[in-house]
Amino acid sequence: MTTGEDTSIEVGVGPWTGEWPAGDHWDPELLEHGDRRNVVDRYRYWSREAVVADLDTRRHGFHVAIENWQHDFNIGTVVRNANAFLAAEVHIVGRRRWNRRGAMVTDRYQHVRHHPAIEDFVAWAAAEDLPVIGIDNLPGSRPMETTTLPRRCVLLFGQEGPGLSDAAREACAELFSIAQYGSTRSINAGVASGIAMHAWIRAHAGPPPE
Ligand SMILES: C[S@@+](CC[C@H](N)C(=O)[O-])C[C@H]1O[C@@H](n2cnc3c(N)ncnc32)[C@H](O)[C@@H]1O
């Protein structure tokens, strides 16, 4: 099998038994050798292209962006969350390379776009008429718990250490924070992305498919 996924733990299904089903979405390799990918059951034996095409028919109205000036290890988690909550697209702002380990191969099913500089990202968002919503606990941020995220938006996250850069903050139509109660200044961007995406889901999404 050439899916590139971690097959050390036997998950999924073995080779298809009986006559192969008809249809373009089936992957002959997976039918023959089994499907050990980390995908929900309804996509078993589907080709990657078919899965992406199906996801594309029902992606949500929010995009996710994260600054990447120091190879932030959280980006993989952001991509995995974006896949789980079905973001329209993920945007990496800054360095092109990012650590894919935390994505657990979900980037293969997600549209990931690179913008070399904040200016490029802002120009793209303006062209799409999408407000940039900064997620960070900065002075002036409004509590996410008592507001509703816009239906169409880009949620922009900062990186470990500095958080949102000055240029990124200036690009934001609004800033939202996640309430914290302990001693740490912040949670990591991967966790923050999951909380923010789920806030969007609670406000705007229907139930997931069966
Ligand atoms: C580790 S934080 C660093 C910055 C943070 N402003 C600080 O003062 O330490 C990295 C990123 O995670 C997200 N984040 C972490 N904690 C957050 C919170 N309580 N509310 C909103 N976003 C948060 C933001 O996107 C932030 O840029």
- Residues 39 and 67 grouped into a single domain: no
What's the CA-to-centroid distance between 157 and ligand 1, angstroms?
8
Q: Calculate mean pLDDT across residues 143-167.
A: 95
pLDDT at residue 2, as a whole number? 46
Range(s) of the domain holding residue 177: 62-204
C-alpha Rg value of the chain to the nearest Å: 19
- 146: in domain: yes
- 5: in domain: no
pLDDT at residue 7, as a whole number? 52
- Residues 69 and 165 grouped into a single domain: yes
Tell the residue nearest (CA) to atom 25 of ligand 1: 157
How far, in Å, CA of 53 to CA of 35, rounded? 19
How far, in Å, CA of 83 to CA of 106, rounded? 6
Q: Calculate mean pLDDT across residues 74-89.
A: 96
- Residues 44 and 146 grouped into a single domain: no
- Residues 195 and 154 grouped into a single domain: yes
Q: Is 186 in the pocket of ligand 1 (CB under 6 A)?
A: yes
Q: Domain count for the chain, please give it.
A: 2
- Residues 18 and 80 grouped into a single domain: no
Q: Is 189 in the pocket of ligand 1 (CB under 6 A)?
A: yes
Q: Calculate mean pLDDT across residues 89-105.
A: 91
pLDDT at residue 8, as a whole number? 59
- Residues 27 and 98 grouped into a single domain: no
Confidence of residue 6 (pLDDT cuts 50, 70, 90): low
Which among 66, 186, 191 is the best mutation to test ligand 1's pocket, defined by most ligand atoms within 8 Å of the CB? Answer: 186
Q: Calculate mean pLDDT across residues 137-160.
A: 96
- Residues 100 and 153 grouped into a single domain: yes
pLDDT in tens, 20-68: 999 999 999 999 999 999 999 999 999 999 999 999 999 999 999 999 9
- Residues 159 and 81 grouped into a single domain: yes
3-state secondary structure 80-92: HHHHHCCCCCEEE
Q: Is 190 in the pocket of ligand 1 (CB under 6 A)?
A: no
Which among 74, 132, 136 is the best mutation to test ligand 1's pocket, defined by most ligand atoms within 8 Å of the CB? Answer: 136
pLDDT at residue 89, as a whole number? 98
The more confidently predicted of residues 143 and 161 is 143
Q: Are strands 132-135 and 153-157 parallel, antiparallel or unpaired?
A: parallel
Q: Is residue 168 within 8 Å of residue 69, measured between CB atoms?
A: no
Q: Is 157 in the pocket of ligand 1 (CB under 6 A)?
A: yes
- Residues 91 and 149 grouped into a single domain: yes
pLDDT at residue 5, as a whole number? 55
Q: Residue 13: is it exposed, middle or buried by C-beta count within 10 angstroms (0-12/13-18/19+)? A: middle
- Residues 46 and 81 grouped into a single domain: no
Give the C-alpha distances (Å, rounded to integers) separating 35 from 41, 49, 107.
Answer: 10, 15, 18
How far, in Å, CA of 119 to CA of 123, rounded? 6
Q: What is the mean pLDDT of the chain?
A: 93
pTM above 0.85, yes or no: yes
Confidence of residue 101 (pLDDT cuts 50, 70, 90): confident
Q: Is 98 in the pocket of ligand 1 (CB under 6 A)?
A: no
How far, in Å, CA of 64 to CA of 51, rounded? 20
| Residue whose token pair is 């001693």 | 183
Specify the CATH number for the domain of residue 197: 3.40.1280.10
pLDDT-above-70 percentage for the chain: 96
Q: Is 180 in the pocket of ligand 1 (CB under 6 A)?
A: yes
- 46: in domain: yes
- 209: in domain: no
| Residue whose token pair is 């929010």 | 62
- Residues 24 and 116 grouped into a single domain: no
